[in-house]
């Protein structure tokens, strides 16, 4: 095996680990539990510990789709060399580190996607327009869909004619039904990818699609019934437990979505290093996110929790439900998505339902959107420019 290739892969691996650490320490490691901390449902350090564990689990069990899209789905005709992979990761992680340091909402998904496309096109690759359209649609629709769902939920939860033991139980059942159909990397036949409902279908020997629907409904009803009972006997404690569960699911989804931004660029290099599997890369990326969550996220969680302190458990639930749903759709499609964008949009939607237009700052929203667009554009220009200035083989 070429020693130079191995050294370049090791260098790229360290860059990937740094990227994973930044993801864990940044908004992806902080946003899932910041609403819960702001609502005084959990302490900052305990939140960082839990988000690290669930982020690692999500990375290992759900990280393959987005990783494949980042590594092999954004550019046609060329495969990124090791030097190009290193450039992509350093640009993405560097911009994210600057964002964390300065407080600007630089989105990891935008920086990594922009740098991969920039480097790939500069190397002579061809655009994959179908994938770009899919990514663009998710990015554009996320604020409207996430904010809209959060608005509806936040409008219903405080209504006296809809008891929370019913409304929150219905939401929990919906999340449970979706979770029963989420793909995990180890639930399929012979260790392949599969779902909980699909596993139950195989175990019972029922082959019809109706069986999957039936199992999904059964899971949803069971979870809804449990939450209904819990909230009825203890309103405050029940809402807190729902909020913490949703935060854990969002942290899990964040790991499954964001790990691809750190390890996806490495996948083209695996074609020349057959001894290293994709699962090993996902485990390494998940470990980087876990360490980042434990060492860097507490500060970010504490900072974000101050902004979210006025949410309360009900608005926090309204924000986390669409965050989980959108993240899982993005993972299913293999689309890199910004958790900053998802959660901020959901919080704006829930805030609008409670406080009307006075709860929304047009200036802050415009600055945030501007930062997202600038993140992608700057990463693209830097990626393209690096290849022009330093030609790569």
Give the residue from 28, 75, 74, 7 showing the smallest Cα distance to 285: 28
Instruction: Dump the DSSP string for 31-42.
Output: TTTHHHHHTTSS
**Which of 96-100, 101-105, 292-296, 338-342 shows the lowest mean pLDDT across its residues?**
101-105
pLDDT at 393 over 80: no
Token output for 357: 């237009």
Average pLDDT, the chain: 84
Residue 41: band (very low, low, confident or very high) from pLDDT cuts 50, 70, 90: confident
pLDDT at 358 over 60: no
What is the per-residue pLDDT across 172-228, written as a single tens digit (0 to 9) for each?
A: 999 999 998 898 887 777 767 788 888 877 777 766 667 778 888 999 999 999 999
- The rounded distance, in Å, linking the Cα atoms of 378 and 353 is 35
What is the per-residue pLDDT across 8-27, written as a single tens digit (0 to 9) for each?
A: 778 888 888 888 888 888 76
Where is pLDDT greater, at 390 or 31? 390
pLDDT at 133 over 90: yes
What is the per-residue pLDDT across 272-319, written as a single tens digit (0 to 9) for each?
A: 666 678 888 999 999 999 999 898 888 777 766 666 656 677 888 888
Residue 3: band (very low, low, confident or very high) from pLDDT cuts 50, 70, 90: low
Under a CB-based contact definition with an 8 Å cutoff, are residues 50 and 33 in contact? yes
Residue 162: band (very low, low, confident or very high) from pLDDT cuts 50, 70, 90: confident
Q: What is the mean pLDDT of residues 358-365?
A: 61
Sorted by where each begins, the domain ranges of the chain are 3-389
Say what the pTM is.
0.89
Please tell me whether residue 188 adopts helix, strand or coil conformation.
coil
**pLDDT recorded at residue 81:** 85
Instruction: Dump the DSSP string for 350-366.
Output: HHHHHHGGGG--HHHHH
- The rounded distance, in Å, linking the Cα atoms of 203 and 29 is 36
194 forms beta bridges with: 184
Q: What is the mean pLDDT of residues 57-74?
A: 92
Q: What is the mean pLDDT of residues 314-334?
A: 90
Under a CB-based contact definition with an 8 Å cutoff, are residues 53 and 33 in contact? no
Where is pLDDT greater, at 198 or 323? 323
**pLDDT recorded at residue 306:** 64
**pLDDT recorded at residue 79:** 85
Q: What is the mean pLDDT of residues 65-93?
A: 88
Q: What is the mean pLDDT of residues 24-52?
A: 81
């Amino acid at each position: 095996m070429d020693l130079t290739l191995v050294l370049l892969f090791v260098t790229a691996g360290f860059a990937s680990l740094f990227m994973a650490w930044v993801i864990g320490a940044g908004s992806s490691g902080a946003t899932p539990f910041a609403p819960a901390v702001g609502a005084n449902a959990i302490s900052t350090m305990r939140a960082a510990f839990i988000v690290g564990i669930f982020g690692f689990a999500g990375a290992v069990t759900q990280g393959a789709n987005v990783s494949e899209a980042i590594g092999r789905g954004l550019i046609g005709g060329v495969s990124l060399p090791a030097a190009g992979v290193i450039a992509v990761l350093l640009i993405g992680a560097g911009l994210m580190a600057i964002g964390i340091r300065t407080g600007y909402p630089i989105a990891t998904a935008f920086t990594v996607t922009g740098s991969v496309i920039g480097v790939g096109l500069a190397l002579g690759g061809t655009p994959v327009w179908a994938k770009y359209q899919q990514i663009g649609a998710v990015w554009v629709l996320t604020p409207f869909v996430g904010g809209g769902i959060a608005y509806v939920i936040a409008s219903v939860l405080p209504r006296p004619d809809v008891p929370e033991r019913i409304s929150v139980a219905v939401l929990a059942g919906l999340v449970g039904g979706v979770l029963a159909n989420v793909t995990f990397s180890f639930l399929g036949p012979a260790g392949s990818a599969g779902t909980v409902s699909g596993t139950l279908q195989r175990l019972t020997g029922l082959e019809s699609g109706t069986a999957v629907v039936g199992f999904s409904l059964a899971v949803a009803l069971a979870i809804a019934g449990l939450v209904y009972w819990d909230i009825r006997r203890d309103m405050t404690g029940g809402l807190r437990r729902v909020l913490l569960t949703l935060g854990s699911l969002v942290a899990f989804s964040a790991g499954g979505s964001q790990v691809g931004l750190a390890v996806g660029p490495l996948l083209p290099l695996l074609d020349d290093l057959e001894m290293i599997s994709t699962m090993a890369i996902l485990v390494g990326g998940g470990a980087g996110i876990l360490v980042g969550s434990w060492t860097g996220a507490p500060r970010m969680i504490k900072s974000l929790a101050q902004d979210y302190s006025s949410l309360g458990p009900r608005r926090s639930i309204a924000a986390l439900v669409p965050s989980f749903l959108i993240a899982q759709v993005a993972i299913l499609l293999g689309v890199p998505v910004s958790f900053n964008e998802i959660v901020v949009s959901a919080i704006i939607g829930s805030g609008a339902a409670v406080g009307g237009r006075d709860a929304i700052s047009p200036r802050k929203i415009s600055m945030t959107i501007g930062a997202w667009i600038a993140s992608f554009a700057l990463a693209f220009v830097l990626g393209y420019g690096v290849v022009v200035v330093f030609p790569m083989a």
